[in-house]
Structure 1
Amino acid sequence: MKRFPYAKVGLAAALAAISLQAGAQGAGARISDGVVKIGVLTDVNGPFMDNVGRGSIVATEIAIEEFGGKVLGYPVQMVSADHQNKADVGSARVREWFDRDKVDVVTELGNSAVALAAMKIAETKHRMSIVTGAGAVRISSEDCTPTNLQWVYDTYALAKVGTQSIVRKGAKNWYYLTADYAFGHSLENDGKQFIEAAGGKVLGSSRYPFPGSDFSSYILKAQASKANAVAIATAGLDLQNAIKQGREFGLVEGGQQAVAMLMSIVDVNSIGLKDAGGMMFAESFYWDLDEASRKFARKFFEKTKRMPTALQAGQYSATLNYLRAIEKAKSDDVSDVMKQLKTMPIQDAFAKNGKVREDGKMVHDMYLVQVKKPQESKAPWDYYTVLETVPGDKAFQPLSESKCPLVRK
Structure 2
Amino acid sequence: MTFIRLKLAMLAGVASLAAPWPAFADVNILYLSDMSGPTSVLTGESSQRAIEMAIDDFGGEVNGEKIVLHVADHLSKPDVALGIAREFVDKGDLNLLFSVDHSAAAQAVSDLVRDKNLTFIASAAAMPMINEKCGPRQVQMLMDSYGLSRAITVPLVEAGLKKWYYITVDYAFGQDLQAFGESALAESGGELVGSAKHSPQTTDFSAFLLEAQAKGADAIGLATFGAWQIAIAKQAQEFGITIPLAPYLLGDTDIKAAGLESFQNVSGAIQFYWDQNDKTREFAKRFQERYSRPPTFTNAMAYEMITHYLKAADEAGNDDATEIVKKMREAPIQMINGDTASIREDGRTMRPMYSFVTKTPQESKGDWDYLKITGKIDADKIAPPLSGSKCPLVKS
TM-score by length of 1: 0.88
Report the residue type matching 1:173 in the other structure: K
Q: What secondary structure, in the 3-state scheme, does the structure 1 residue paired with 2:97 have?
A: strand
Native 8 Å contact 1:251 1:258 kept in 2: no
Deviation at residue 277 of structure 1 after TM alignment? 2.8
Deviation at residue 189 of structure 1 after TM alignment? 0.5
Native 8 Å contact 1:317 1:350 kept in 2: no
Q: Distance in 1 between matches of 2:199 and 2:301?
A: 28
Moved more, 365-374 or 116-125: 116-125
Native 8 Å contact 2:329 2:344 kept in 1: yes
- Which of 45, 58, 73 pairs up with 1:67? 58
Unaligned runs of 5+ in 1: 1-32
Aligned runs of 1:2-401 on 2, under 5 Å? 35-100=26-91, 102-132=93-123, 134-252=124-242, 256-349=243-336, 352-401=339-388
Q: Report the RMSD for the aligned CA atoms in angstroms.
A: 1.5
Q: Distance in 1 between matches of 2:210 and 2:120?
A: 41
Deviation at residue 237 of structure 1 after TM alignment? 0.5
Deviation at residue 357 of structure 1 after TM alignment? 0.6
Deviation at residue 100 of structure 1 after TM alignment? 2.1
Deviation at residue 268 of structure 1 after TM alignment? 1.1
Q: Distance in 1 between matches of 2:337 and 2:204?
A: 34
Report the residue type matching 1:346 in the other structure: I
Q: Deviations over 1:200-222 (max 9, x none)?
A: 01122111112421112222222
Unaligned runs of 5+ in 2: 1-23
TM-score by length of 2: 0.91
> Relative to total residues, which structure has the larger helix share, 1 or 2?
1
Q: Distance in 2 between matches of 1:155 and 1:211?
A: 22
Q: Distance in 1 between matches of 2:331 and 2:185?
A: 35
Identity %: 35
Q: Distance in 2 between matches of 1:296 and 1:101?
A: 35
Pairs aligned (count): 373
Q: Distance in 2 between matches of 1:342 and 1:52?
A: 25
Native 8 Å contact 1:39 1:103 kept in 2: yes
Deviation at residue 379 of structure 1 after TM alignment? 4.2
Deviation at residue 78 of structure 1 after TM alignment? 0.3
Q: Distance in 2 between matches of 1:261 and 1:345?
A: 26
Q: Distance in 2 between matches of 1:191 and 1:340?
A: 34
Deviation at residue 402 of structure 1 after TM alignment? 2.1
> Relative to total residues, which structure has the larger strand share, 1 or 2?
2
Q: Distance in 2 between matches of 1:292 and 1:388?
A: 17
Q: What secondary structure, in the 3-state scheme, does the structure 2 residue paired with 1:91 have?
A: helix
Q: Distance in 2 between matches of 1:115 and 1:60?
A: 19
